[in-house]
Structure 1
Amino acid sequence: MSKNQSPGGRRHGGGHGTMHLPLQKPKHFKKTFNRLLGYLRPHVGVLITVFAAAVLSTLFSILAPKLMGDATTRLFEGMMNKIRGVPGAQMDFDYIWNIVVTLIVLYVLSSLFMYVMQYLMSGVSQKMVYTLRRQVNEKLARLPVRYFDTHPYGDVLSRAVNDSENISNTLSQSLTTSITSIVTLLGVLVMMLTISPLLTVVLLVTIPLSLVGIKGIAGRSQLYFKQQQERIGKLNGHVEEMFTGHQVVKAFNREPQAINTFKEINGSLYHSAWKAQFLSGIIMPMMMFIGNIGYVLISVVGGMLVINRTIQIGDIQAFIQYARQFGQPLNQIANISNIIQSTIASAERIFEILDEEEDTPDLPEPAVLPEPRGHVRFEQVSFRYKADQPLIEQMNIDAAAGSSIAIVGPTGAGKTTLINLLMRFYDCDAGRITIDGVDIKTLKRDALHHLFGIVLQDTWLFSGTIRENIAYGREKATEEEIVRAAAAAHADHFIRTLPDGYDTIINEEGSNLSQGQKQLLTIARALLADPVILILDEATSSVDTRTEVHIQKAMQTLMKNRTSFVIAHRLSTIRESDLILVMNHGHVVEQGTHTTLLEKGGFYADLYNSQFENNDQKQITG
C-alpha cells in the first residue's frame, strides 16, 4: 500500500531552525518566482508601506547601541574627571537622561513600526493564499475524472493545503525577516565603519570562517534530515496500515512481524534523526566560538585604540553590540535562502494543478432536454485510457426509456468505463452517446449529471447527520421526502432504532454504522434525487440476503418508467432486467433477456452456470 506523505511543518525566525528541513528545490525557479510575484501586484501599495515600516523599525533599533555608547562615554569621562580631581567635575545626568528618553522613544517607535509591518504583511499573505486556495478549489472542480484517477489524492491534498500554507508562512514571516535582515546588515555595517574601519575589518575577517563551517556542517546534516523525513513517512505509512488493517493482522497472527517491521523502521529513524540533530547542533556552538574569537580580537584591538585615544570607550561597547547584531542577519539570510527555495517549489506544485488541462468546455449554446425520458443510445463508441491499449471498440447499445439494463462481465471487461462514458466523466474517442436523441457532448455537464442518480459499491458518506446525508441527493428536500426515500430504501426502520434517529451523527469513518446500513443510506440518497436515469454499481453487494430481497422489490417498483443501468456480479439479482449486456474485453459480446441468453448457451450461460455451481459446491462442502 503506497502512502502519500505530507510535508512536515517548519520553523521560522532566527537561528538555524530552517536548516532542520530537507531542501525542496523547484524545477523552474525564475519562471515560478515571477508568476508568484504576479499575485503580489494587487498589493503593491501595502507592500511599499511594509517595506518602509521594516526599514524604519530596523533603523531605530540600529541607532540605539551608538546612543548607549555615547552615554557610557559621558559617564566614563565624568568618573575619570572626578578621580583626577578636576575642579567642578560632576556626572552629566541631564545628558544621560536625555539619551535614556531618546532610547525609549526609539524602541517604542521601532516596536510600533514592527507591529505595523507584521500586521500588514499577514493581511497580504492571507489574501494571496486565499486567492491561491480558491483558484485551486475551482480548478479541481473543473478537472476531468482522468486527473483524479492518475494522481493520488494525498498528493492533491498536500498541494492544496500544505503547499499553500508553506507560501503563507514564508510571506508573513520570512519576507519581512529578509527585509529587516538586509537593512540591519547594511545599517550595522555603516555604523561600524563610522566608529572604526579597523575594527570593522577585524570583524569581517572572522565571517568567512563561520560561513565555511556552516556550509560544511549544513550540507552533511541536510542529507540526514532528508533521510529522517523519508523514514518518518515510512513509519507513518506502516502504522496507518497496521491500524487500519488490525483485524487482518490479528486474524493471521502477524503481530510479531508487524512489531519487528516497526522496530526496524523506528531504529533507522532514530539513527538518522540522531545524526541530523547532532550535526545541526554543532552549528550554534561553532558560531558562538568563532563569534567569541571575534569579540576577543575586537576587545584587544579596541583597547589599544582607546589607550591611544583613537576612539572612545563607549564606542567599543557600541561596536561589540553591533558585532552581535551583524552575525544574526547573516544566519537569517542563509536560512531564508533555503526557505525561499522550498516556497518556490511549493508554488510550482500549485501552479502545476492550475495549468492542468480542464474538462472540455460546454458549448456556448448548449442543448436542452425540457422533458427528458431517458432513451440512451451508444453509436459506434470507441474509447481507450491509453493510446496503445484499446478498451471499447465500436460499441452499440440501445436502451429504451424506462427499461432496466444489466451490465455483466468479468473484471476489466469495461463495465464501469461504460458508465463513466455515459456520465461524461470521460469523453469517447469515436462515435457518440445520445439521450433522447441529443448528443451528450452538446448538453451542459451539470444538466447532464442532474439526469442521473448513482449508487456505488464503495459507499461515500460525509461527517454529519443521517438526515443531511440523505438530503445530499436533492437540494431543499423536505423532511417528508427524506423519510419517504429512506422508507423506500428500507432504511427508515433501522434509522428509527438509533438513539438519535435521523439526527444521528455519522462519524468521519462511518464506523458507527454497518456497511449494509451505509449502503442503504446511499440508495435512499439516490432515490431522493428522483433521477431520469439510475445507475447501480453492485449496489446491494454489501447487504445481507434478507435486506437484499427487500431492496430488490423496492428497486423493481422504483425502476418503472426510469432507465436503469445495473452493474452486477451476482447474476441472480438481474434476472428481471429488460436487457442484459454481456461485456468482455470492451465489447458487448451478447445481449438479450436472462431467458434468451441462457437458451443461447454462450458466454452469459457459462458465467451464470459457473456461479451457481460454485454456490452449490459451497453449500455441499459447508
Structure 2
Amino acid sequence: MTTTTGVTGEERDDLSQAESKALRGRSVRLLVSLLRPLRKQIALTLLVVIASTAAQVAGPTLVAIGIDQGIPAVARGDWTPIALAGGAFVVLSVAGALLIGRYRVMQARISQAILFELRRRVFRQTQALSIEFHESYTSGRIISRQTSDLDSIRELLDEGISNLVAGGFYTLFTAIALVSIDPQSGLILAVALIPLWFLTRWFQKRSQKLFRLTRVTSARLIVQFVETMTGIRAVQAFRKEPQNATRFAGAVEANRDANARVFRLFGTFDPGLVLIGNVTVAAVLLFGGFRVADGVLEIGTLLAVVLYVRRFFDPLEELAMFYNGYQSASAALEKISGVLDEQPSVADPTRPIDLREPRGHLNFDDVEFAYASGPQILPRFDLDIPAGQTIALVGSTGAGKSTLAKLISRFYDPSHGEVTLDGIDLRTLAPDDLRSAIVMVTQEAYLFSGTVADNIAIGRPEATRAEIVRAAKAVGAHEFIESLPHGYDTDVNKRGGRVSSGQRQLLSFARAFIADPAVLILDEATASLDIPSERAVQAALQTLLADRTAVIIAHRLSTVAIADRVLVMEKGHIVEDGTPDALIAGTGRFATLHTAWRDSLA
C-alpha cells in the first residue's frame, strides 16, 4: 500500500527532529541520484570556477606589488615592474570575466538537466501511482509540486548554487591570500569570525522554521486557488464565493505574515553582517596604519589587506540569500521526494502472465476489500460472472458498487482472496494485456485537448480514420460529430467545451467500442443524460455490450433492463442475485426499487 509519511508530514511546520532527519535523508538521496549522471560536467564546472576565482582574488596582490615595487622602480626610471603588474592585472581580469561567463553557461546546463529529469520523474510517478493515491492527494497539491516547488528548485539552481560555489571559493581564496601576505591581519580576521559564527547560527536556527512556514503557506494558497477554480460551478451554484474569499484572504494573510517574519529576520542579520565587516576593516586599517608608520608594513600591502578583508565579507550576504533560497528549495525537494517515494498500492507483477485472447470470464474467490487505514468496504464474498454476460449492479449510494468495479479494473487489489480473468489472477496479468482486456467508462467522460478523432482513438491509438468513423456510427455519435464545425477534426478544447455532456458520453462509448475490450464496465455512464437522450443511446449500448462481458452500475433502472443478471448490493453485501424479471416478480429490494421507479414515471 502507499506510504503516506512524506505526503502528510511535509505539509506541517511542526515536524519532530526524527521526522525532519528522515525528510532530509530522503531529499539527499534524491539529489544524489540527480547529480550522479552529471559528475563529469560538475567536476569540469568546478575547475572553471576555481580558475576564475583565483584570477579575481589575485587582483589586490598585484595592486600591492605595483605600489610597493613598481612605484619605487618608476622613481628610478624603471617602468618594467609596474607595467608587468598592471598588465597581469588586466590579463587576469579579462580571464576571470571570460571564465565566469563560461561557468555561468556550464552551470545553467547542469541546472536545466536536473530540472528536466526531476519534472520527468514527477510526471511519470504521478501517472504511475494508483487511484488510491490520487483520491487522497488533492490535485492542487500535485500541481504545486510541478509548479511552485520546481520553481523554487530552479531559482536555487540558476542563481543560488552559482552564488554559493563562487562565493565560497572566493571567501576561501581571499582568506588564504590575506594570510599569505600578512598573517597578523589574518589573525584579526580570525577573531572577527567568532561573532560572525554566532550571528550565522542565530540566523540559521530561526530561518529554517520561517522558510518552511513560507513554503507551507504558499502551497496552501495554491491548493485553495486550484480547488476553487476546479470546482467553480459548485462554488457559484451554492454561493460559496464569500466564504471562499474569506478563506483565501486568510491564506494570503498567513503567507504575508510568514514572509514579513522572514524580512524582519534579514532586517537584523544584514546590518549585523555589515557591522562586523566594517569593524573588522577598521581594526585592520588601524593596526596596519601603525605598522606602516613604524616601517614594518608596506603601504601597498596594507591596501591589499584592506581590500581582501572587505572582499571577504562581500559574498557573505549573498551566501545568506542563498540560505533563503536553499531553505525554500529544500522544503520543495522534501515534498517532491515524498511524491517520488510513494509506492503504488497496485504494483505491476514481477513475472507477468500474457493473456492473448481474453474471453471475459470473471471470478471473485473469497474476496475482501478494505483501505489501508480505513474500515472494511466489501466483506468476504464469492462471485462468478461468465464470459459474455451483462451484469447490472444496483444499490444505494455507498453500497460498494464502484469499489467492486474498481477491483475488476484493478484500480485496487483485494485485501484478501483473488479476482481472476479467464482463470488468471489480475495481479499477475501483464499490465498492457489487463488494460486492453478491461475498459471502464465513467460518468465524467473526460475529453483531452485535441480533435474528436484523437479522443476516440485513445481507445486504440493505431486506429485508422475509417475505424474511428465506424466506432462513432456504431454508438450513434456520427451524426452529431458531422454537425460540428470541422467534423472529426474539431478541437474539443479543454474539458470538451464544444460538446454537451451527453455528446461527451457518446464519444466515451465510441472510445470504448474501438478499444474492443473483453470486459466493459459502465460506472454511471448514462447519469449525465436526460431521459430522452438515455433512450436514444440504448441502441448504442446494445451494440457496445454485444459479445462481451459487461458490468453496469446505474441508479436508473431503465438501464438495468438490458442486463442478463442483476446484483443488488447493500453495505458491501450482495443481497440479491437474479434476472431482472425474476427479481421484479419477487418481493425483495430490487422489486421495491423497480416499483418506486415505475411510479416516478407515472
TM-score between the two structures when normalised by the length of structure 2? 0.84
Residue 609 of structure 1 corresponds to which residue in structure 2?
595
Could you say if the C-alpha distance between residues 434 and 242 of structure 1 is closer, same or farther in structure 2, counting changes exceeding 3 Å? closer
Residue 50 (structure 1) aligned with residue 51 (structure 2): no
Residue 64 (structure 1) aligned with residue 59 (structure 2): yes
Residue 408 (structure 1) aligned with residue 411 (structure 2): no
Could you say if the C-alpha distance between residues 585 and 386 of structure 1 is closer, same or farther in structure 2, counting changes exceeding 3 Å? farther
Could you say if the C-alpha distance between residues 347 and 77 of structure 1 is closer, same or farther in structure 2, counting changes exceeding 3 Å? same
Counterpart selection for 2:349 from 347, 355, 362: 362
Residue 27 (structure 1) aligned with residue 22 (structure 2): yes
Helix, strand or coil: the match of 2:443?
A: coil
Q: Give the whole-Å Cα distance in 2 for the aligned partners of 1:40 and 1:147.
A: 28
How many residue pairs get aligned? The number is: 587
Residue 505 of structure 1 corresponds to which residue in structure 2?
491
Q: Give the whole-Å Cα distance in 2 for the aligned partners of 1:247 and 1:152.
A: 18
Give runs of aligned pairs for residues 365-444 of structure 1, distance below 5 A.
366-370=353-357, 372-386=358-372, 389-444=375-430
**1:542 to partner: Cα distance:** 1.0
Cα distance per residue 1:456-483 (max 9 Å; x no partner): 0122222222221111111211112222
Residue 93 of structure 2 corresponds to which residue in structure 1?
107
What amino acid sits opposite 2:355 in the alignment?
Answer: V
Give runs of aligned pairs for residues 307-346 of structure 1, distance below 5 A.
307-333=293-319, 336=322
Q: Give the whole-Å Cα distance in 1 for the aligned partners of 2:228 and 2:38.
A: 48
Gaps in structure 2 of 5+ consecutive residues: 1-6, 12-18
Residue 296 (structure 1) aligned with residue 291 (structure 2): no
Could you say if the C-alpha distance between residues 127 and 248 of structure 1 is closer, same or farther in structure 2, counting changes exceeding 3 Å? closer
Q: Give the whole-Å Cα distance in 2 for the aligned partners of 1:33 and 1:570.
A: 54
Q: Give the whole-Å Cα distance in 2 for the aligned partners of 1:208 and 1:42.
A: 39
**1:568 to partner: Cα distance:** 0.3
**1:222 to partner: Cα distance:** 5.9
**1:128 to partner: Cα distance:** 5.0
**1:375 to partner: Cα distance:** 2.9
Cα distance per residue 1:281-320 (max 9 Å; x no partner): 4433443333233333333333222222222222222222
Counterpart selection for 1:542 from 525, 528, 533: 528
What amino acid sits opposite 2:28 in the alignment?
Answer: F
Q: Give the whole-Å Cα distance in 1 for the aligned partners of 2:274 and 2:390.
A: 80
Is the Cα–Cα contact under 8 Å of residues 217 and 251 in structure 2 kept in the other structure?
Answer: yes
Q: Runs ≥4 in structure 1, deviation > 6 angstroms?
A: none
Give runs of aligned pairs for residues 520-535 of structure 1, distance below 5 A.
520-535=506-521
Cα distance per residue 1:193-234 (max 9 Å; x no partner): 233233333344344344444554665566555555444444
Is the Cα–Cα contact under 8 Å of residues 27 and 345 in structure 1 kept in the other structure?
Answer: no
**1:50 to partner: Cα distance:** 2.7
Q: Give the whole-Å Cα distance in 2 for the aligned partners of 1:363 and 1:34.
A: 25
**1:255 to partner: Cα distance:** 4.8
What amino acid sits opposite 1:304 in the alignment?
Answer: F
Is the Cα–Cα contact under 8 Å of residues 26 and 348 in structure 1 kept in the other structure?
Answer: no
Q: Give the whole-Å Cα distance in 1 for the aligned partners of 2:351 and 2:220.
A: 49
Cα distance per residue 1:128-153 (max 9 Å; x no partner): 55555555555556544444344444
Helix, strand or coil: the match of 1:111?
A: helix
Helix, strand or coil: the match of 1:464?
A: coil
Helix, strand or coil: the match of 2:375?
A: coil
Is the Cα–Cα contact under 8 Å of residues 61 and 106 in structure 1 kept in the other structure?
Answer: yes
Q: Give the whole-Å Cα distance in 2 for the aligned partners of 1:301 and 1:472.
A: 79
Is the Cα–Cα contact under 8 Å of residues 473 and 528 in structure 1 kept in the other structure?
Answer: yes
Helix, strand or coil: the match of 2:376?
A: coil
Is the Cα–Cα contact under 8 Å of residues 453 and 527 in structure 1 kept in the other structure?
Answer: no
**Greater mean deviation of Cα atoms: 298-307 or 141-150:** 141-150
**Greater mean deviation of Cα atoms: 343-352 or 318-327:** 343-352
Residue 599 (structure 1) aligned with residue 594 (structure 2): no
Could you say if the C-alpha distance between residues 363 and 304 of structure 1 is closer, same or farther in structure 2, counting changes exceeding 3 Å? closer
What amino acid sits opposite 2:584 in the alignment?
Answer: L
Give runs of aligned pairs for residues 79-478 of structure 1, distance below 5 A.
93-128=79-114, 130-131=116-117, 134=120, 143-156=129-142, 158-159=144-145, 174-175=160-161, 177-213=163-199, 215-216=201-202, 226-246=212-232, 248-250=234-236, 255-333=241-319, 336=322, 349-350=335-336, 352-353=338-339, 355-358=341-344, 359-362=346-349, 364=351, 366-370=353-357, 372-386=358-372, 389-478=375-464
What amino acid sits opposite 1:532 in the alignment?
Answer: A
Could you say if the C-alpha distance between residues 157 and 543 of structure 1 is closer, same or farther in structure 2, counting changes exceeding 3 Å? same
**1:505 to partner: Cα distance:** 2.3
* Identity score, percent: 33
Helix, strand or coil: the match of 2:494?
A: coil
Residue 14 of structure 1 corresponds to which residue in structure 2?
none
**1:406 to partner: Cα distance:** 0.8
Is the Cα–Cα contact under 8 Å of residues 452 and 532 in structure 1 kept in the other structure?
Answer: yes
**1:349 to partner: Cα distance:** 4.9
**1:374 to partner: Cα distance:** 2.2
What amino acid sits opposite 2:171 in the alignment?
Answer: L
Gaps in structure 1 of 5+ consecutive residues: 9-23, 82-88, 617-622
CA RMSD of aligned residues (A): 3.7
**1:589 to partner: Cα distance:** 0.9
Is the Cα–Cα contact under 8 Å of residues 218 and 280 in structure 1 kept in the other structure?
Answer: no
Residue 3 of structure 2 corresponds to which residue in structure 1?
none
What amino acid sits opposite 1:27 in the alignment?
Answer: A
**1:109 to partner: Cα distance:** 2.5
Q: Give the whole-Å Cα distance in 1 for the aligned partners of 2:210 and 2:34.
A: 35
Cα distance per residue 1:141-189 (max 9 Å; x no partner): 6544444344444445555676666666656655554443343223211
Could you say if the C-alpha distance between residues 535 and 28 of structure 1 is closer, same or farther in structure 2, counting changes exceeding 3 Å? closer
**1:432 to partner: Cα distance:** 3.6
Residue 37 of structure 1 corresponds to which residue in structure 2?
32
Could you say if the C-alpha distance between residues 565 and 351 of structure 1 is closer, same or farther in structure 2, counting changes exceeding 3 Å? same
Q: Give the whole-Å Cα distance in 2 for the aligned partners of 1:248 and 1:361.
A: 37
Residue 494 (structure 1) aligned with residue 480 (structure 2): yes
Q: Give the whole-Å Cα distance in 1 for the aligned partners of 2:262 and 2:587.
A: 69
Cα distance per residue 1:61-120 (max 9 Å; x no partner): 1111111233244576579x6xxxxxxx55x55443332321222123223433444444
What amino acid sits opposite 1:301 in the alignment?
Answer: F
Counterpart selection for 1:485 from 471, 486, 493: 471
**1:347 to partner: Cα distance:** 5.3
Q: Give the whole-Å Cα distance in 1 for the aligned partners of 2:526 and 2:234.
A: 24
Is the Cα–Cα contact under 8 Å of residues 26 and 342 in structure 1 kept in the other structure?
Answer: no
Could you say if the C-alpha distance between residues 449 and 123 of structure 1 is closer, same or farther in structure 2, counting changes exceeding 3 Å? same
Q: Give the whole-Å Cα distance in 1 for the aligned partners of 2:153 and 2:241.
A: 42
Cα distance per residue 1:569-605 (max 9 Å; x no partner): 1112212311111111222111122221121111112
Helix, strand or coil: the match of 2:567?
A: strand
Q: Give the whole-Å Cα distance in 2 for the aligned partners of 1:213 and 1:610.
A: 76
**Greater mean deviation of Cα atoms: 266-275 or 483-492:** 266-275
Give runs of aligned pairs for residues 555-574 of structure 1, distance below 5 A.
555-574=541-560
Could you say if the C-alpha distance between residues 30 and 438 of structure 1 is closer, same or farther in structure 2, counting changes exceeding 3 Å? closer
Could you say if the C-alpha distance between residues 286 and 388 of structure 1 is closer, same or farther in structure 2, counting changes exceeding 3 Å? closer
Residue 20 of structure 1 corresponds to which residue in structure 2?
none
**Greater mean deviation of Cα atoms: 150-159 or 315-324:** 150-159
Helix, strand or coil: the match of 1:306?
A: helix
Q: Give the whole-Å Cα distance in 2 for the aligned partners of 1:224 and 1:443.
A: 49
**1:333 to partner: Cα distance:** 4.8
Helix, strand or coil: the match of 2:42?
A: helix
Q: Give the whole-Å Cα distance in 2 for the aligned partners of 1:247 and 1:374.
A: 39
Q: Give the whole-Å Cα distance in 2 for the aligned partners of 1:406 and 1:32.
A: 48
**1:331 to partner: Cα distance:** 4.1
